[in-house]
């Protein structure tokens, strides 16, 4: 099948394309900026058409020879996005009809059932726009399948990242946590893998199917239980929530944008949508299962989806085009020095780290685990490592544990013991000439809760000083020893 994917650099699209390629489909993508595709490993395997979904000429070129369209475009980039979405939907629907496309699959949003006193449905602007696009496609001449999803659970999803970072900030703080009363509204999330299964399956539906399907996990949650469920899987404390009658989506959106990496332009519409109860119609889920089958292993429960997202974080399984701030918060500080000594001479000094040799830093700190003790607020009690040994994976170096080692080139140390988060220290040594090299030292810290963020910020000046002294001293020792060796060789 020849499939056109619009929105291929977005969260869902960038994950759908490799899935379609693996299934043997020929894939074409429509992209306003084709250069953005270059970061994806599948970029060379797709046909690319440059253009915007509101440009009839570009869309006509893109749909030529196409059997089905995965329509994954939804703008939330400022005022007027609803009008732009309507225009794009009409252009795509008309071009698809002219080209003889057999199927359009659109990923929209769950729609609320509540109405005001006059019987009109009360829908946030964000969800109303998604509903309008679905209706345009269903009313068009090409058979359409409109998938209506709630929060998609997976690293890189704006809604999930908002939940993640709010949970990380708030859970583990006070025992009583004030929350807007709308977080008690119900929502039915869905795992990203289940969404991809639904889109791929609907591309091959028979032509008589022209309808919308609610899609979701087996769990109906509240926004509060989304956060506490994440906290449980991430190992965070779960305080007692206290409902507060606040209905200020713009103010709340600004607060969310300040506390998380989710930009304000996304945060405000997402927060506005929280005023609704967004629950699937079970009949829709059953009907779709009958047509395309359940996802492998069945529909994914919410906490299982969270667990998989956390596993993906550790495996760096996100998409290269995921928005900044996707994944867990990780802060880093880097020190780099060009060294007048060969790489092997620098590595010999690296192998003496820990134990009685210390960390080549400030006296009194170097012997107690360096910056980890600054972050943890106390000294470590691990036994000293034996000097002059080859580093081994699993070996303890004071508070650190050797996670990875490429002898002569790279050392990765990691720890979580005694810290409000997880710390990594990566050291790399690269040759830059026959007798010169470059030493790079990166400290990374993934904070846990408010305590972790406070620890990093409060200790930042001290740990920057400690790390800078370590890098300068270690490379200085390597240079001095190398020069001494040269003098002895020429004596």
pLDDT at residue 370, rounded to an integer: 46
Report the range of poorest mean pLDDT among 42-56, 107-121, 134-148: 107-121
pLDDT at 5 over 90: yes
Please, which pLDDT band fits residue 449 given cuts at 50, 70 and 90? Answer: low
Q: What is the pLDDT of residues 85-127, one digit of tens each?
A: 999 999 999 999 999 999 999 999 999 876 544 444 567 787 8
Please, which pLDDT band fits residue 159 given cuts at 50, 70 and 90? Answer: confident
pLDDT at residue 156, rounded to an integer: 85
pLDDT at 176 over 80: no
Q: ∠ at Cα 457 (231, 311), nearest 5°?
A: 35
Q: What average pLDDT does this structure show over 460-479?
A: 90
Arithmetic mean of pLDDT over the chain: 83
336 CB neighbour count, 10 Å cutoff: 12
pLDDT at residue 26, rounded to an integer: 98
280 contacts 110 by C-beta, under 8 angstroms: yes
Residue 473 CB partners (closer than 8 Å, separation 6+): 360, 361
Please, which pLDDT band fits residue 409 given cuts at 50, 70 and 90? Answer: very high
pLDDT at 178 over 70: no
Report the range of poorest mean pLDDT among 46-55, 94-103, 320-329, 345-354: 320-329
Please, which pLDDT band fits residue 171 given cuts at 50, 70 and 90? Answer: low
Q: What average pLDDT does this structure show over 367-377?
A: 47
53 contacts 27 by C-beta, under 8 angstroms: no
Residue 400 CB partners (closer than 8 Å, separation 6+): 354, 369, 372, 413, 414, 415, 425
C-alpha–C-alpha distance, residues 3 and 65, integer Å: 9
320 contacts 444 by C-beta, under 8 angstroms: no
Residue 347 CB partners (closer than 8 Å, separation 6+): 407, 408, 409, 429
Q: Where are the domains of the chain?
A: 2-315, 331-490
The CATH topology of domain 331-490 is Alpha-D-Glucose-1,6-Bisphosphate; Chain A, domain 4 (3.30.530)
| DSSP reduced 3-state for 453 | helix
Report the range of poorest mean pLDDT among 45-59, 90-104, 198-212, 476-490: 476-490
Residue 481 CB partners (closer than 8 Å, separation 6+): 341, 345, 348, 349
C-alpha–C-alpha distance, residues 360 and 366, integer Å: 6
C-alpha–C-alpha distance, residues 106 and 146, integer Å: 5
pLDDT at residue 244, rounded to an integer: 61
Concatenate the DSSP letters of all residues of 241-290 into one string: EEEE----HHHHHHHHHHHSSS-HHHHHHHHHHTTS-B---HHHHHHHHH
pLDDT at residue 249, rounded to an integer: 55
pLDDT at residue 151, rounded to an integer: 92
| DSSP reduced 3-state for 334 | strand
pLDDT at 19 over 90: yes
Please, which pLDDT band fits residue 269 given cuts at 50, 70 and 90? Answer: low
The CATH topology of domain 2-315 is Rossmann fold (3.40.50)
Question: What percentage of the chain reaches a pLDDT higher than 70?
Answer: 77
Among 80-89, 131-140, 317-326, name the most confident range. Answer: 131-140
Q: What average pLDDT does this structure show over 286-308?
A: 96
pLDDT at residue 400, rounded to an integer: 85
Sheet holding 400-406, edge to edge: 331-339, 437-447, 421-431, 410-415, 400-406, 396-397
pLDDT at 411 over 50: yes
pLDDT at residue 465, rounded to an integer: 86
pLDDT at residue 119, rounded to an integer: 47
Q: What is the DSSP letter of 25?
A: -
Helices (H), 274-422: 282-292, 302-315, 343-350, 371-376
pLDDT at 366 over 70: no
pLDDT at 146 over 60: yes
Token pair listed for 411: 């050392």
pLDDT at 478 over 80: yes
Report the range of poorest mean pLDDT among 5-9, 124-128, 327-331, 437-441: 327-331
Q: What is the DSSP letter of 115?
A: B
pLDDT at residue 118, rounded to an integer: 45
pLDDT at 368 over 60: no
- Report the chain's terminal Cα–Cα distance, integer Å: 76
More confident residue, 358 or 413: 413
């Amino acid at each position: 099948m020849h499939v056109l994917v619009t929105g291929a650099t977005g969260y869902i699209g960038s994950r759908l394309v490799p899935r379609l390629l693996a299934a043997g489909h020929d894939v074409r993508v429509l992209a306003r900026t084709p250069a953005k595709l270059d970061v994806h490993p599948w970029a060379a395997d797709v046909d690319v058409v440059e253009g915007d979904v509101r440009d009839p000429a570009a869309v006509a070129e893109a749909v030529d020879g196409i059997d089905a369209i995965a329509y994954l475009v939804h703008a939330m980039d400022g005022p007027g996005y609803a009008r732009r979405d309507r225009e794009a939907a009409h252009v795509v629907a008309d071009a698809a009809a002219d080209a003889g496309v057999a199927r359009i699959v659109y990923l929209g949003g769950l729609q609320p059932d509540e109405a005001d006193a006059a019987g009109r449905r009360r829908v946030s602007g964000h969800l109303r726009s998604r509903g309008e696009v679905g209706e345009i496609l269903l009313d068009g001449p090409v058979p359409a399948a409109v998938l209506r999803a709630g929060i998609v659970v997976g690293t890189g999803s704006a809604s999930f990242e908002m939940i993640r970072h709010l949970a990380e900030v708030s859970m583990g703080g006070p025992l009583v946590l004030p929350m807007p009363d709308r977080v008690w509204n119900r929502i039915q999330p869905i795992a990203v893998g289940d969404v991809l299964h639904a889109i791929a399956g609907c591309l091959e539906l028979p032509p008589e199917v022209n309808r919308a399907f609610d899609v979701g996990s087996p769990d109906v949650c509240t926004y509060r239980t989304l956060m506490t469920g994440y906290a449980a899987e991430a190992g965070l404390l779960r305080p007692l929530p206290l409902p507060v009658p606040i209905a200020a989506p713009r103010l709340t959106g600004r607060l969310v944008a300040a506390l998380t990496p989710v930009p304000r332009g996304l945060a405000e519409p997402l927060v506005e949508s929280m005023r609704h109860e967004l629950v699937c119609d079970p009949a829709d889920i059953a009907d779709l299962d009958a047509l395309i089958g359940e996802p492998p292993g069945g529909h994914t429960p919410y906490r299982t989806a969270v667990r998989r997202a956390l596993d993906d974080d550790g495996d760096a399984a996100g998409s290269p085009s995921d928005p900044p701030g996707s994944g867990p918060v990780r802060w880093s500080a880097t020190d780099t020095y060009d060294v007048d000594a060969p790489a092997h001479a620098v590595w010999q000094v690296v192998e003496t780290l820990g134990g009685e040799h210390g960390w080549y830093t400030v006296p009194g700190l170097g012997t107690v685990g360096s910056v980890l003790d600054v972050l943890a607020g106390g000294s470590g009690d691990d036994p000293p490592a034996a000097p002059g040994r080859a580093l081994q994976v699993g070996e303890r170096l004071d508070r650190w544990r050797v996670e990875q080692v490429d002898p002569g080139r790279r050392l990765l140390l990691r720890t979580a013991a005694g810290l409000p988060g997880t710390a990594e220290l990566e050291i790399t040594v690269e040759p830059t000439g026959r007798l010169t090299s470059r030493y790079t030292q990166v400290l990374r810290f993934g904070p846990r809760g408010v305590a972790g963020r406070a620890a990093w910020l409060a200790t930042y000046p001290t740990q920057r000083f400690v790390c800078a002294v370590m890098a300068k001293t270690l490379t200085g020792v390597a240079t001095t020893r190398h020069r001494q060796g040269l003098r002895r060789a020429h004596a």
